[in-house]
Structure 1
Amino acid sequence: MGQQLHRRTATTLRRVGLVATLGALVLLAGCSAETQQEWKNLAMPDPATEQAQHIFELWRWAWVAALATGVVVWGLIFWVVVRYRRRSHDEIPVQTRYNLPLEIFYTIAPVIMVIVFFYHTVNVQNAVLEDTEQDHTIDVVGQQWSWTFNYTGEDAVDSEVVWTSGYGGNIPTLVLPVGETTQFNLHSPDVIHSFGVPGFLMKMDVIPGRVNHYEVTPDTEGTFVGKCYELCGSYHSRMLFNVEVVSAEEYDEHLRDLEEQGYTSDEPLLGGVDVRDQAGLEPAEEESE
């Protein structure tokens, strides 16, 4: 009777595994190439900056550690289920108490795992937040409900600051040069926002009264999307922006275009009002409710 039950259980598990495998293959076949790449990266996009590579490695090896732990735990569970299954209706399993070596193991092992994760996380944090000799500085302003990007102290233009903004309902574009280090100084005149680009695998809170900062060195040209990751009010979903990573020559040309269009200032525009009006330009049309 016990052997028949064991064979039926094994057959059922094989069928469930086969169905799950076929379902996963069907889902992967219907996914786009970008989605399939994220699956290969364990739900992470390809890192597009030098700093993002550190975060990606931490993410990947954390998954490896988690899966290895899962295999051990699942293996022990199934081994116990099969090894100590009830073979008769009146059978009582052997009762075990106070197994000191086992208790020491399942107390010490998780502590060691947490220490290892903490060590590598701190190393990655130090690597991505390290201050280096940056080539460019951009004062990023997150305000309800748009972004303003101030390009500060650029040699390609005569103005101290050239800027672009998403006020008036437009989605602003942040332009960055490939292979050069840019520091973001994050400002907020109203509430807490969060500035991040999924392709850079990095985000940081934008807090009123405090200037957080971090650096990126893009190593891949292309178009990316960014957004606010902190719920900041009724139109939080509108706080989107695009990122264009271009060559150094195209970057300088973009700055000169902004200067020719009159998007200049003597200092970064950090206020909580329409930045066009703040800069002395014609105010943008108000967004419709």
Structure 2
Amino acid sequence: MSPTRRTTRRPWARRRLPGAAALALLVASGTACSNQAIDQWSRGGMPEGVTKQADIVQTLWNGSWIAALATGVVVWGLILWACIFHRKKKNSPDQLPPQVRYNLPIEILYTVVPVIMVAVFFYFTARDETEITRITKAAPVKVAVEGYQWSWRFTTEYQGQKAVVAGVPVDLSKQSPENPQGPQLVLPVNTQVQFDLHSPDVIHSFWVPAFLFKQDVFPGNVHNHFQITTLNKTGVFVGRCAELCGTDHSKMLFSVKLVPQAEFDQYIKSQAGSAQ
């Protein structure tokens, strides 16, 4: 007599548990990605800003897109209206429709309206640019930025002490968001910072995408100044030269590390030397 083979069936819940867990993980991942996508769309594709000036740039950017889309809707609507209601009919005679030439009111309209639109854009751009580049009271933290072929030197002065960081062209094969290469500029959050930009050779451009704006770095006796009113988020943010400046332009990378005030104080004290 052959032995009886017993087969055990896993309970329904145990069989479905791995699938349910995978589905839950997929839904959670999709929700996170969806939230990130919505957040990115709300900024018009711009990175998340970390300065007060970035808020100004973001508002100008969003307003420009709204105005451009509104203009596009009107133009597209007129094009579709003309295509639908003024197309050639099936049984219409093979001849040109009535031609409209030298319509002075229409010509004035499509000349004056674009001029007004450009003037409005110019006003808001000039207003915001003036605010972004405004130099107010003396900032407690001052940074001398020297861009040279093909790296950066940062001299940070704070309360009579200074920290100097200089770099060389980076190895692009080692560059990653988690491990940014090049010299690192350390700054405190919630503190006003003034930048003094200069170059000993050619024109460069100091660009930290998270600042949402960039500043040119000029050679000669020209020094470009600007202030960051408030750095409002800790973290490490990549920067680069945004002006084609020679053979190793792409290797002219750096990073900005924003830290709490106490950590910044320790960093400055750990650097030898005082401001001269």
TM-score, normalised with respect to structure 1: 0.75
User: Against the structure 1 CA distance between its residues 126 and 73, is the aligned structure 2 distance closer, same or farther, given a 3 Å change threshold?
Assistant: same
Aligned to 2:41: 39
Closer/same/farther in 2, CA of residues 32 and 168 from structure 1, 3 Å limit = farther
The residue number in structure 2 matching 1:184 is 195
Contact 1:84 1:93 survives alignment (8 Å): no
Give me the whole-angstrom Cα distance separating, in 1, the residues matched to 2:69 and 2:101.
Answer: 30
Choose from 62, 65, 80 the match for 2:64.
Answer: 62
The answer (yes or no) to whether the contact 1:164–1:258 under 8 Å persists in 2 is no
1:204 equivalent in structure 2? 215
Alignment check: 8 A CA contact 1:193 1:230 kept: yes
What residue identity is the alignment partner of 2:133?
A: L
Alpha-carbon distance in structure 2 between the residues aligned to 1:240 and 1:219: 23
Matched to 1:128, the amino acid is I
Once residues 166 and 112 of structure 1 are traced to their aligned partners in structure 2, the CA distance between those partners, rounded to angstroms, is: 48
Question: What corresponds to 2:108 in structure 1?
Answer: 104
The corresponding residue for 1:214 is 226
Equivalence for 1:162: 163
**Identical positions, percent:** 46
- Alignment of structure 1 residues 115-130 onto 2, 5 Å: 115-130=119-134
Aligned to 1:73: 75
SS in 2 for 1:105: helix
Q: Which residue of 2 aligns with 1:83?
A: 85
The alpha-carbon deviation at position 33 of structure 1 amounts to 6.9
Task: Find the aligned partners of 1:220 and 1:34 in 2 and give their Cα distance.
Answer: 18
In the TM superposition, residue 36 of structure 1 has moved relative to its aligned partner by 5.7
Contact between 1:137 and 1:183, CA under 8 Å: does it hold in 2? Answer: yes
Distance (Å, rounded) in 2 between the aligned partners of 1:257 and 1:237: 31
SS at match of 1:151: strand
Which of the residues 228, 235, 238 maps onto 2:251? 238
Counterpart Cα distance in 2 of 1:202 and 1:94: 52
The worse-fitting range, judged by mean Cα deviation, of 142-151 and 217-226 is 217-226
Query: Is the 8 Å Cα contact of residues 169 and 251 (structure 2) preserved in structure 1?
Result: no
Q: Does the 8 A contact of 1:171 with 1:242 survive in 2? A: yes
Query: Any stretches of 5+ residues in structure 1 without a counterpart?
Result: 1-27, 268-289
SS at match of 1:94: coil
CA gap of 1:93–1:29, structure 2 versus 1, over 3 A, is farther
**Is 2:128 the counterpart of 1:132?**
no
For 1:35 and 1:150, the matched residues in 2 are separated by: 38
1:226 equivalent to 2:230? Answer no
Query: In 1, Cα distance between the equivalents of 2:199 and 2:258?
Result: 24
Q: Does 1:145 align with 2:183?
A: no
**C-alpha distance in 2, partners of 1:206/1:36?**
35
8 A contact 1:37–1:45 mirrored in 2: no
Structure label with greater radius of gyration: 2
CA shift at 1:258, angstroms? 2.4
Equivalent residue number for residue 48 of structure 1: 50
Q: CA deviation at 1:219?
A: 1.3
Letter matched to residue 139 of structure 1 = A
Aligned partners of 1:181 and 1:215 also within 8 Å: yes
Provide, for residues 222-271 of structure 1, a one-character-per-residue CA deviation record: whole Å limited to 9, x for no partner: 22111000111111111111111111111111112222xxxx4654xxxx
Does structure 1 conserve the Cα–Cα contact (< 8 Å) formed by 2:141 and 2:193? yes
SS at 1:150 equivalent: strand
**Structure 2: tracts of 5 or more residues without a match:** 1-29, 171-180
Q: In the alignment, is residue 255 of structure 1 matched against residue 260 of structure 2? A: no
The superposition leaves residues 62-113 of structure 1 with CA deviations (integer Å, 9 ceiling, x where unpaired) of: 0100000000000000000001000036253121122221111101000000
